[in-house]
Structure 1
C-alpha cells in the first residue's frame, strides 16, 4: 500500500504532508504530551517542559534579553490540560503555536512566583479569584489570559465544573502606549545603506564568478606534497579550486571538515586553501547578506516579516497580467486566514521586489537542489520508521526549505534558512550608519525590521496628503480599523496636534481679518498652510478647485462622491470626471495644474496597484483630452511644464483631498 505521506495533495505543488492517522493525537509514548499539528506547515508540540520546568533557557546575549525567566514544572496540571491544549492548538500555524506556548510560560512563571502563598498543582486549585488578582498585578491580560482560560475552561466544562470568569482580563480596555516609530528621515539613510550593500553583494558574486573562470582549479591536486612549494594560490585560484571541490564532492557548499573527510587528510593539509568563507561567499549569500536582501525587500513592499518569509520561490513571482514592464510578487498572510498580499515592481529596476527575489533565488538554486536531495533521503528512511518524530520534523523543515527563497550558507553549519529568531543585524546597521552621520541626524531609536512596514505605510499616508485610502492600499488591509494600529504612533499624534493648531489659527485669522469664514478657504489653508489671493478669488467666484464651473454643485454623481451628504456642496470636486463640469477660457491653468498633479501622484505618491484600482487613471486621461480639445497645444504644454517644475521644486504640492474616493 502506498505511503499516504507520499501522495500529492489536491491542488498542491508537490508531495503532500498529511501525517499517518496515529500522529495528530497526543503520543502515548510521551504520556500524551507530544503531538503534531495538522496545519499545512506541521510542527511538533512538546508540552514536557511544563511538566519538568525550564531553567537557564537563555542562549547568549540575545537569549538573555528575550527569555522572560525560568519556571517550575507542574506535572498534574499539565497532564490535565494536555488533551484540551491538543484540541485547541492542533490546527494552528507554527508561529501561532509558538505564541501560545509563550502565553503559558507567563502563567507558569506566575505560579512559581506565588507558589508559597497559593500553590497551583491542579485545575481545581484555580478556584476563586486569587490568581485573577495576581495576573492583574503582573499586567497579564488579553491574549495570554484568553489562551489559558480556553483550555482551563474546556477541562472544567468536561468535568462539570463552573468555568472561570475572570472579568476584565481577557479583553483589556487599557489602551496600548503609542509606539515610537522611526521617522522618514531616520529610515532614509538605512534604506540607502541597504541598497549600497545589496549592490555590493551582487558585485562580489559577479567578481567571484570572473575570478573562478580566470583561476586554476587545483581540486584534483590538493594531496600533492609539493603543490604549494614556493608559491601560494591566488584569490582566483581559491575560487576555482573551491568550485572544483564542490563539483567533485557533489555538494554545493563544502566546509573544511567535509573536504578533509572527502580527501581523508588532516585539516593542516588545507591551510593554503583557508579561509573557506572567501570562495563560498563568492557563490552564496551569507547570514548578513540574507538580512540585507530581506530588509530591503521589506522596505520595497511594506509587508510584514511573516508575509515576506512566506513567499514561494517557485510561484511567488508572476508576470503582470496587463503591463509586461512590471511583475507581481505574492506572499501568504497567515494571520489573515491564508490570504495573499501583492506587491508590484518594475522589470527594469534591480531593487524592485521581484528582482531582489530573482537574484537571490538564482544564486541559491544549488543550495535548494541539495535540500531536495536531503529531503529524499529523509523520506527514504521514513518508509522504514513512518512514526519517527525526529525524521518527521526534519522532513517538514526540509520541505519548507525547498520553496523558501531566503536560503544562505553558514560556514560551520551548512545550509540554513532565515527564520524568526532574533538577530543583531539591525542594531549593527543602525550603529554603523550613525557613525557616519552628524549628531543632529543620528537615528535615536531602536529600529527593527517590523518598523519598515510602519515606515512604508506612514510614507504612503504622508505623501498622499494624509489620505486613509492610500494608506490602506499600501498596507494591504481589508478595513480602515486594521490600519488604525499603524497610525497610533507618537509621530501621527503629534501631526494631529499640529493640524488642530493650524486649523485654530486659520479660523481665528479669517474671523479677525475678514469677519467671515468660508469652509473651502479654511480647508485650503489647513492643507497648504496659506493660499494666494488668486486662489482666494477663485474660491470666492464659486469656481471649483479645477477652475471650472458646476451645473449642480449640491448633487455630484454617486460614482464620484459616494459619501456625499444631501444638500451640502461637493467635497470631492474632481470636475474633470464629472458631467456637471463647465469649462471656461480661464480654466486652462487650473486643469493643467491638475494634470501635472496627477502625473506626480502616479509617479511618486501611489503604487501601481493603487493607481489602476483608482479613478485617478481616468481623471488623467480626461484632463489630457480636455486640454487637447479646448486649448492651444503650445499654451497647454507651457502651463503643464510650468506646474510640473513647480511640483518638482517643492514650490507646489500635489494634494489628494479628503473625499477623493478612488
Structure 2
C-alpha cells in the first residue's frame, strides 16, 4: 500500500463555482495524507478502487494553486477528471519509486524523462493511464513551474497519437509479448539517455546565449570550423537543446530546428558541433 499515510488532519476542499452546481465540493486532501489500499462504501462494501498511494505534501502544495485555478467555473465532471488524473499520477510515482528510482517529493523532481517513463510502464510496476489524465497533469505541472519561475529546461512529453489501421489482422500472443518486450527495452533506453543528458545539461553552457565568432577558417561548404573561443562538450549540446525546448515550447524539436535557432542552416551539422564523450556508446560521433 501506500505506505505512511499521514494521520495529521489536512483540509483541501475545492467548492464548485459553476452556476448550475452550487454547493458541490470535492476533497483533495488524500494527495497530502495518502490513500488506503481499499475503500468501503457507506454500506460497508468494498469500493471499486485501483489501490492506495502515499501522500506527497510538498508536491501537492506546489500543484494546489494550479488545481484551484484549473477548476474555476468547471462542472463536477471536470473535478472528477482531475482527481482521477492525480490518483493515476500518484500511483505511478509510487511504482516508480518501488522500482528503485530516486524519490519524487517536490515539483522540481518532475522531469521530462519522468513524463516519458509514465507513458511506458516497466515490468507492470505501474498502470497505463488515459490521455486526459496525462494532459491534466501536464497542465498543472507546467503552470506550477511557471508560477515558481523555474529556469531549467523542461517539457511534458505528449501522449502518443493513436495509429489508425485498415488491417483486420490481429497480432498473436507471441507477437504482443515480443512487442511489449521491445517497448520496455525502448523505455529503459529512453529513460537512461534522458537521465544522463539531464545530468550533463546542468553542467553545460547554453550556446543560444553565447556570442559566436563570425570569422575564421572555413570548410569546403563555407562553414566555420570553430565558432566559440572554448572547446565545446557534450554537456553544452544537452544544455542548449533543453534550453531550446523551454524557449520554444516544443517538447521534441529536431536538431534542424535547433540549428535554425542558432542562426545556422538547419540541414547540416556544423563542424564545431560537439561529439559524444568517451563513456557514451556513440563516443566520437556528433551529439544528436
Shorter-chain TM-score above 0.5: no
Shorter-chain-normalised TM-score: which range?
Answer: 0.3 to 0.5
TM-score after normalising by structure 1: 0.20
Q: Which has the higher contact order (CA 8 A, sep 6+)?
A: 2
TM-score after normalising by structure 2: 0.45
Q: Which has the higher helix share?
A: 1
